[in-house]
Amino acid sequence: MVDRLEISMVPSGPRFSAHLRFLVNGEDVVAEAVGEGGRGLFAVGPAGAELGPLRGNGEALRVELGEPECSGVCCGFLSVVVQRFRGIVQWSDWQVPYAEFAPPEFHFDADQYDAELARVDTRAGRSGVS
């Protein structure tokens, strides 16, 4: 089975600036893994989000996705290894903040995955985050 990625924006709040939410199969993987009060690290600013590390290529790349409320320096960050294998983008080898549960390994159809990243890639003049 292939997993499905959807990206949306979490608006600014009292403690954090706007950031991206990563839904995999309808579940917010960052919120579930960083605990109540945590946040995603992909900030959304006037120039959009820098999604380059998530694109994946033939080499494994560790990407930080979130941190708990106490900050990642204290309890650790949520990170995942992103790697592309032909028509599949894989998220694996999760590292999670202290006392949190790791998400499972995900396998995305590369075409759907690329389309979702392109949809939110405002750096390239595309429509932006919905």
Q: What is the DSSP string of 60-97?
A: -EEEEEEE-TT-HHHH--EEEEEEEETTEEEEEEEE--
Whole-model pTM? Answer: 0.82
Arithmetic mean of pLDDT, 77-106: 90
Arithmetic mean of pLDDT, 43-66: 75
Whether 126 shows a pLDDT value over 90: the answer reads: no
- Tell me the pLDDT band of 114, cut-offs 50, 70 and 90: very high
Of 42, 43, 23, 44, nearest in space to 33 by CA:
23
Q: Starting from the edge strand earliest in sequence, which strands make up the sheet with 19-24, in order? A: 5-10, 19-24, 27-28
Whether 123 shows a pLDDT value over 70: the answer reads: no
